[in-house]
Structure 1
Amino acid sequence: MPTVITSKNDDEENYSSQLLTANKNLALQIIETKTREAQLVIANAKLVFQNKEKENRAAELVIANQELAFQNQEKQNLAEELIVANTQLEFQNNEKEDRAAELIIANQELAYQNKEKQKRAEELIVANTELKFQNIEKENRAAELIIANQELAYQNEEKQKRAEELIVANTELKYQNKEKEKRAAELIIANQELAFQNQEKQKRAEELIVANTELGFQNKEKEKRAAELIIANLELAYQNQEKQKRAEELIVANTELEFQNKEKEKRAAELIIANEELAYQNQEKQKRAEELIIANEELEFQNKEKEKRANELLIANKEIESFTYISSHDLQEPLRKIQSFSGRIFVEEYDNLSAMGKYYVERTKLSALHMQTLINDLLAYSRTNTTQRKFVNSDLNQVVNEALEMLKEELQDKDATIEIKDLCEINIIPFQFRQLIQNLISNSLKFSIPGKKPHIVIMCNFIKYDPTTAIDYILKKDYYHITIKDNGIGFEAEYKDKIFEIFQRLHDRKEYPGTGIGLTIARKIIENHHGLITAEGKINEGAQFDIYIPAQQ
């Protein structure tokens, strides 16, 4: 028993040393956390610098547009001078008939004017060359803006990865908590078994004491029997029958003594085995305690990592809000001025513009309109990430009708037919789902076959999940299957995933206008509903979009 107590003291010393080691590891992890925070501050500083660079690029684009307008004005002035020179030349030709004496002077002046006209033409060529250079510079600035937008999309993807890592970390944390509970239960069972074995060992010790007491008693009895044997030998002649009885009793006593010695050896062997098993269980208990300490340290580390991921997610959301503010104010304000000034030039100075000047103003208005559409689409895409996701049990018929009302003019222009079948009530975010339906119907109208009336079919089915069947379910739960099908130009099967990527277009913008963000917004809305969207299409046979939404959110 004292040996067991000493072993427990050693275990307590081991636990103390392990606790010190755990504290040291915790201090190291705190230092690592501070290092991560410093790196995060540096990353934020880099992001601020990149935003300033993007603003500088936008300012350079505004200056380039102003310089382009100035050069267009200079070109117009040169053209007006050329018209005056031609008018003067015609006037001098008429005067030549009446003023024959002044013919030589007129010819000299005409030659001089031709030289001036040639100079003006050369200056016009130089101006056109410089204008082409500035157009190239403007395209470069537009390319830089596209790269900045792609970088923003990449940052959004990184944010989504962080969110997925946070989900995985939470899942692993739940699993480890369950494992910790299992270890604690095993430790309780081991302690109970150890207490039981200690009781058994105490019983064996008591039995051994009883056996030793009985052995001493039997030894005394043997001495008595020996004394009786001496007396019996002295009375041998008289007590032959008594000696035989005593001899038989002595044989029985020796047999019993031998049996008790064997039992004592068995009890000693059992006591040795019990002590070995007790030592083994103490080692197992120590291992379980060490595993519990490691699990607690890992749990603490994962909690800190989860806090880091949550902080990173908050920072990413603030970056998206900052981008939305810039798109809503800083980018749209100069764009409105460009649209306003180009519109005023087109209206107030239309008669004074040359054919090429009118063409340039029209191109400027179209480019500004395209940029306005792009900014609005980017704002819509960012709002699908930042807006509050409040699910409401909604009638899908009403949502579709509201989307059709928004597209009323386009439907009338295309003379489109909308066929609605078996729509039902579904738990959704109403304004996001209305935007989803509107984007998909608008996409079908845009890519309709020229000369053929668009025909769009919208239907909905409820799918009851049954894990006992061999059916391959899209979602492993009850869900709604919504289908939007059209008879448009369709697309090749290899592009069924690419069409959902941001800024991805299968056709030239001149042929089919748009920014390439509409289907990306549709996919993001479905992700917000924890669902799935797929697309199938055939060339000149139409396209079909399948949406799968869980019945319970």
Structure 2
Amino acid sequence: MKANTAISDELTLAKRDLAFEINEKGKRVAELAIANIELTFQNEEKEKRAAELTIANQKLALQITEREKLAAELIIANDALAFQNEEKKKRAAELILANLELVYENREKEKRAAELVVANHELTFQNNEKEKRAAELIVANRELTFQNEEKEKRALELVLANKELLFQNGEKEKRAAELVIANKELAFQNEEREKRALELVIANQELLFQNGEKERRAAELVIANKELAFQNEEKEKRAAELITLNAELKAFSYVSSHDLQEPLRKIQLLSDRILGMEDQSLSEKGKDHMHRILSAATRMRTLIDDLLAFSSLNIAERKFEAVDLNIIIDEVKDELKETIDEKHLTIVASKLYKVRMIPFQFRQIIHNLINNSLRFSKPCIAPHIIIESRIAKGRALGEEKLLPEASYCHISFSDNGIGFDPEHKDRIFEVFKRLHGREAYAGSGIGLAIVKKIMDNHNGIITATGSPDRGATFNIYLPHESDDESVR
């Protein structure tokens, strides 16, 4: 490929050289034509001069021998001129042959035309000089006797003029060669300018695109700053509301833990005493009423404890620690050992990881979920719970609320209980929302709401799936900081 390119470049240069030579030959042909015209004019002038010389010779027949000598010199000059004319004819023949070869070589005519205009001006000047010289020659012929020295001077000047003409021709050839080199350099510079112009166009387009991107980003930044200012205002408002809410919660907690608990303790205490001391005197209906009072007081106390637990989640210190899930599950199993043994509950936990959490709150999640499975287990069937976990990217977990590129610890909690209707999957996390009557299943209706609140504190998500008589599954998604590139 490079060889072909080099050959192509050489052919291009050869064509340019050939075009230049053809143009040069064309110029020479034009100059020869002009020279022929001048020669014809000179011949006519010579004929006139010869006629005048004949007349002068007739008039000068009696002149001194000096005239004869001058006539002899003039004859010699005429012979030399005849020889020059023959040389010019030979050159004309050569130029005719050159014209036949240079028929198609015309590329530099316009440039040479300018030079030819200059040459024409010079030729005009020379013609004027020749006319002057012709006039002088006429005068010289009339005054031939006394002007021999002037003729010799003029002959010498003619020789000098011829030398100058040869020198000028050489200079013209040099200038022509320099002009060819200058044209090549100009063509190269034009190509470079076109390349630079194209690069400048591309650079301008890129600059326009970058300016557009900057303007867009500046507009987006302005909008983001406005949104940030609005969010900051909202945060300040919410912070003020949170301070007020925390104060109210503290007051509520104090009232709940003291003012409400004390009457309940007295009701339970007095009811127990009545049942113990007046058991013989009470009728069966009275005993039933007393047992109902005790049951209502117990439910009320449980409800107050759950409400205290739910409200304390807003004001509790959120201290996150990296805790092994196996340890949390083992602690909850120890707390519920009697109920687990009574119900013959089986818990299978596998592939559990360490997760950053608030330990006592997450323990409450596991406690409430196990209690929930025990409370809604099927009669005459031993409850069975499976707990599993894995680390994965949000995009692989199929949950819309998760960030696709963030890492999460997904904990699934499945049981074989009575399940629930899928249309209630969000309702079960609301406070005091019960899917079953109190007579069938005990509880305050706050347990899963507490779980949801704790997940909010952990910036996590909990969802539930299930169907009637086929158990329920709770999916917990906790943010997880991981450097493991294998997590997908």
Normalising by structure 2, what TM-score? 0.50
Secondary structure of 2:409's aligned partner: strand
The reply on whether 1:475 has 2:398 as its aligned counterpart is: no
Aligned-residue RMSD, C-alpha: 2.8
Residue in 1 that maps onto 2:268 = 339
* Distance in 2 between residues matched to 1:307 and 1:413, nearest whole Å: 51
Residue in 2 that maps onto 1:521 = 450
**Cα gap change, 1:398 to 1:471, in 2 (>3 Å):** closer
Matched to 1:457, the amino acid is I
Residue in 1 that maps onto 2:417 = 488
Structure 1 runs of 4+ with >6 Å offset: 295-305, 469-473
* Distance in 1 between residues matched to 2:277 and 2:233, nearest whole Å: 65
Larger radius of gyration: 2
- CA drift at 1:321: 1.1
* Distance in 2 between residues matched to 1:485 and 1:470, nearest whole Å: 17
Residue in 1 that maps onto 2:361 = 432
Mapping 1:164-183, distance limit 5 Å: none
* Distance in 1 between residues matched to 2:410 and 2:244, nearest whole Å: 36
* Distance in 1 between residues matched to 2:400 and 2:414, nearest whole Å: 21
CA contact (8 A) 1:458 1:483 kept: yes
* Distance in 1 between residues matched to 2:365 and 2:475, nearest whole Å: 12
**Cα gap change, 1:308 to 1:475, in 2 (>3 Å):** closer
Secondary structure of 1:523's aligned partner: helix
Secondary structure of 2:263's aligned partner: helix
Mapping 1:225-240, distance limit 5 Å: none
The reply on whether 1:506 has 2:435 as its aligned counterpart is: yes
Residue in 2 that maps onto 1:361 = 290
Unaligned 5+ segments in structure 2 are 1-223, 483-488
* Distance in 1 between residues matched to 2:400 and 2:235, nearest whole Å: 33
Secondary structure of 2:326's aligned partner: helix
**Cα gap change, 1:346 to 1:393, in 2 (>3 Å):** same
* Distance in 1 between residues matched to 2:350 and 2:373, nearest whole Å: 18
The reply on whether 1:374 has 2:282 as its aligned counterpart is: no
* Distance in 1 between residues matched to 2:308 and 2:419, nearest whole Å: 28
Secondary structure of 1:331's aligned partner: helix
The reply on whether 1:549 has 2:481 as its aligned counterpart is: no
- CA drift at 1:307: 3.9
- Measured against aligned partners, the alpha-carbon deviations of 1:115-136 in whole angstroms (never above 9, x if no partner) come to xxxxxxxxxxxxxxxxxxxxxx
CA contact (8 A) 1:475 1:550 kept: no
Mapping 1:284-433, distance limit 5 Å: 306-433=235-362
* Distance in 2 between residues matched to 1:302 and 1:464, nearest whole Å: 28
**Cα gap change, 1:397 to 1:323, in 2 (>3 Å):** same
* Distance in 1 between residues matched to 2:385 and 2:246, nearest whole Å: 37
Q: By percentage of residues, which structure has more helix?
A: 1
CA contact (8 A) 1:535 1:545 kept: yes
CA contact (8 A) 1:533 1:546 kept: yes
CA contact (8 A) 1:439 1:519 kept: yes
* Distance in 2 between residues matched to 1:500 and 1:435, nearest whole Å: 15
The reply on whether 1:457 has 2:386 as its aligned counterpart is: yes
* Distance in 1 between residues matched to 2:389 and 2:370, nearest whole Å: 15
Residue in 2 that maps onto 1:90 = none
* Distance in 2 between residues matched to 1:500 and 1:398, nearest whole Å: 26
- CA drift at 1:298: 11
Matched to 1:368, the amino acid is A
The reply on whether 1:536 has 2:465 as its aligned counterpart is: yes
Matched to 1:421, the amino acid is S
**Cα gap change, 1:474 to 1:347, in 2 (>3 Å):** same
Aligned pair count reads: 260
Matched to 1:366, the amino acid is S
Secondary structure of 1:489's aligned partner: coil
Mapping 1:230-309, distance limit 5 Å: 306-309=235-238
- CA drift at 1:311: 2.0
Matched to 1:318, the amino acid is A
Mapping 1:179-258, distance limit 5 Å: none
Secondary structure of 1:547's aligned partner: strand
- Measured against aligned partners, the alpha-carbon deviations of 1:358-399 in whole angstroms (never above 9, x if no partner) come to 111111101100101100110111111111000000011001
* Distance in 1 between residues matched to 2:228 and 2:468, nearest whole Å: 55
Residue in 1 that maps onto 2:371 = 442
- CA drift at 1:473: 6.7
